[in-house]
Amino acid sequence: MKVLVVGGGGREHAIAWKLKHDDPTVDLHCSPGNPGIAAVATCHAIPAADLDGVVRLASRGKFDLTVVGPEAPLAAGLVDSLNVAGLRAFGPTAGAARLESSKRFSKELMLDAGVPTALATWHGDIPTAREAVRKLGTPVVVKASGLASGKGVMVCESIAEADRAIDDMLASHRFGTSGDEILVEEFMEGEELSIFFLTDGTAYRAMVPAQDHKRLLDGDRGPNTGGMGAYAPVSLATSDLITTVGRTVVEPTLRALREARTPFRGLLYCGLMLTTDGPRVVEFNCRFGDPETQVVLPLLTSPLLPYLVRCTVDGGLANAGELEFSTDSAVTTVVAAAGYPESPRTGDEIDLSAMPDDVLAFHAGTTRGADGRLRTAGGRVMTVTALAPDFAAAQRKSLAGAEAVAFEGRVLRRDIGWREQQRRAGAP
């Protein structure tokens, strides 16, 4: 089978690795890819944002399936364009991708469908947003409505902090047009959880739950990022919890999208808060999460490609078995560039000579310089995943691998999975 993966980050490297690991004979291509992906796929220098270029590549190459990784081309309608060209693509249409590209659309859909989530109001001007903050009280959450690479969410502990967040988005345009409209949202108390669901628009199959670490620094300090690491499985995520999320979140959401004539086919990412009242939705994403994909896919023992294909067809998952996963633990640690997330530095030479053999090093923001040497090319540079029968061993191996990624000014957390570590140690 001939497959094209669109994107060039750690998530796409993990997808490409999994597809090739499952079937070494697959004819795998990536656009644009990165130096790590180039080890398992043929890379084409066409950016994911170049929709016309990707469609021409897919048409010319006669690919059996195109897997779209990042959210921006999904929101821009890449799957729509591929389908018009008669090509099979994994991912939602632009209409369905509004679950991620418009937090207002997502919130309205959830409230109308009875999906448990936080109360929120949406605003395009500063006075009404500030009034909403004062009505809700603190702590309160201020969100950019549009796509902001996972960074457009501010948890504000005080009125003054919320006012600054509102000004940053609506006056200073910190997130560009993504922050032209914002949500002022009820703060939810609890622990966050990410669950991926593959879906054909009606039927769905759950993947092993994971937990992301958004803050830059140890102890969940510092600014929000796109994610500094993740682990799976999460002991809080019982099979009963997954069933509850399917019934109360996934099914009504898919039904509402079908009724709106924008059925969602692809990967529905449910970002949840586990509150005392049960799981409530923090956000939806319309694609594999990053860096959760880097722990979920290495644990998946079922072949991935047949399920991706089934998701592109109405009723394709109806007779498919449940996805199967290893009983191991997986931990991934992100190694980020100096200055991340606000102004990451690029061009620093990367030395991987000390990388241990017992980890998976997924390239996220790397490139080959004119001299052929590996260099930093983005905020998150590498994600290093380790698997082990014992959670603590996976933690240690992932950290050791991350510390073997050497370049000037690197940033990494050394406490990925600290909540799980406490739970397993019996801490209250």
Phi and psi angles of residue 70, each rounded to the nearest 5 degrees, phi first: -75, 160
Residues 62 and 80 in one domain: yes
Q: Is 412 helix (H, G, I), strand (E, B) or coil?
A: strand
Which structure tokens are listed for 294? 């880097």
Phi and psi angles of residue 279, each rounded to the nearest 5 degrees, phi first: -70, 135
Residues 199 and 270 in one domain: yes
8 Å CB contact between 53 and 24: no
> How far apart, in whole angstroms, are the C-alpha atoms of residue 291 and residue 231?
9
Residue 280 CA from chain centroid, whole number: 18
Is the residue at 323 inside a domain? no
- Give me the tens of pLDDT residue by residue for the chain, a chain 428 residues long: 999 999 999 999 999 999 999 999 999 999 999 999 999 999 999 999 999 999 999 999 999 999 999 999 999 999 999 999 999 999 999 999 999 999 999 999 999 999 999 999 989 999 999 999 999 899 999 988 888 766 788 889 999 999 999 999 999 988 888 888 988 999 999 999 999 999 999 999 999 999 999 999 999 999 889 999 999 999 999 999 999 999 999 999 999 999 999 999 999 999 999 999 999 999 999 999 999 999 999 999 999 999 999 999 989 999 999 999 999 999 999 999 999 999 999 999 999 999 999 999 999 999 999 999 999 999 999 999 999 999 999 999 999 999 999 999 999 999 999 999 999 888 65
Domain that holds residue 86: 2-93
- Which of these three, 58, 93, 128, is where a domain ends? 93
Residues 263 and 163 in one domain: no
Is the residue at 207 inside a domain? yes
Quickly count: other Cβ atoms within 10 Å of residue 247's Cβ: 10
Phi and psi angles of residue 336, each rounded to the nearest 5 degrees, phi first: -110, 160
- Which of these three, 134, 158, 186, is where a domain ends? 186
pTM for the model:
0.94
Tokens 């605003």 sit on residue? 123
Closest CA to 141 of 124, 157, 117: 157
DSSP letters for 55-78: HHHHHHHT-SEEEE-SHHHHHTTH
Residues 154 and 247 in one domain: no
Length of the chain (residues)? 428
> How far apart, in whole angstroms, are the C-alpha atoms of residue 363 and residue 385?
11
Question: Which residues have C-beta within 8 Å of that of residue 306, sequence separation ≥ 6?
Answer: 320
Residues 199 and 297 in one domain: yes
Residues 25 and 73 in one domain: yes
8 Å CB contact between 226 and 379: yes
Q: What is the DSSP letter of 26?
A: S
> How far apart, in whole angstroms, are the C-alpha atoms of residue 72 and residue 368?
24
One-letter amino acid of 162: A
- As a 3-state breakdown, the chain gives helix, strand, coil percent values, each rounded to 5, of 30, 25, 40
Residues 205 and 303 in one domain: yes
Sign of the Cα pseudo-torsion (95, 97, 99, 101, in order) = negative
